[in-house]
Amino acid sequence: MQVQLTWKTLLGLVLGLLLLSMMAMGGCSREYQTLLLQMQQQAKIMQNTSMLLDPYIRIQGLDKLDYKEHCKESPGTFPSKDTLQGLSRKGFLQTLNATLGLVLHRLAAFQKKVPHITKDKDQDWKQVSQAEGYIRGVRNNIFCLTPLLNNSSEMVTPTWAGPRTLPPPSLSADAFNHKLDGCKFLQGYHRFMHSVEQVLSEWAEGPSRSRRHSPHWASQGRAHRMRPSRRAKRPV
């Protein structure tokens, strides 16, 4: 438990520093690679179930349940890795942004139901609140990264055609199933962030890896010097 807490503290510190660094820079970083790396790190951190699923399970009293068996991700709630890989970068970011928005919405609804007096005392609730902040951090980076892709050669920006609203909790509205639905949802969320991290890794390993500056910067400062072939190698 001590180790877990320490690990969580470290994670919080890393993410906090990431956010602080952005704030200190007065808004968005203009470095494409920097933003990409930050998002990759954020996705790597957020894929860990200790960020959200584990505290959720403890809050709901499901920790004695075999939740790996009964909290399997419901198919279709979150886009699969293949789906994400098939998206354009812009489409990927839009999908990621929309999906995280759904997650935030659901977390807010979850938090709203629970009395404040309980949340103030519980470490798990604090963890959930922190996770909300981290998700907002990812969305901030999406916000900052998207303009850098505007000048890219991507002509088509398909997005995921999945759910744009919250999936209905369950046909049976009883509390127990609702708890399980939340569990499944968060299981899917962590899997989704894992896929996001992998896709972002592929971005970093792609042809644009050697480019030290963002496409936006390149388009502003050195667009005339960039060869068409390189521009053609922009992430897709």
The residue ranges that bind another protein (CB under 8 A) are: 59-65, 69-70, 113-115, 117-118, 174-177, 179-180
Q: Report the alpha-carbon distance of residue 84 to residue 143 in Å, rounded.
A: 18
Q: Report the alpha-carbon distance of residue 153 to residue 232 in Å, rounded.
A: 7
159: three-class secondary structure by DSSP: coil
Closest contact distance (angstroms) between CB of 117 and another protein is: 5
CB of 6 or CB of 118, closer to another protein: 118
Burial category of 231 from C-beta neighbours within 10 Å (exposed 0-12, middle 13-18, buried 19 and up) = middle
CB of 46 or CB of 59, closer to another protein: 59
CB of 68 or CB of 224, closer to another protein: 68
Max CA separation in the chain (angstroms): 63
Closest contact distance (angstroms) between CB of 194 and another protein is: 24
Closest contact distance (angstroms) between CB of 108 and another protein is: 15
Closest contact distance (angstroms) between CB of 105 and another protein is: 18
Closest contact distance (angstroms) between CB of 23 and another protein is: 34
CB of 64 or CB of 227, closer to another protein: 64
Q: Are 179 and 60 in contact (CB under 8 A)?
A: yes
CB of 112 or CB of 227, closer to another protein: 112
Q: How far is CA 62 from CA 32, 58, 99, 131, 180, in A?
A: 41, 6, 25, 19, 8
158: three-class secondary structure by DSSP: coil
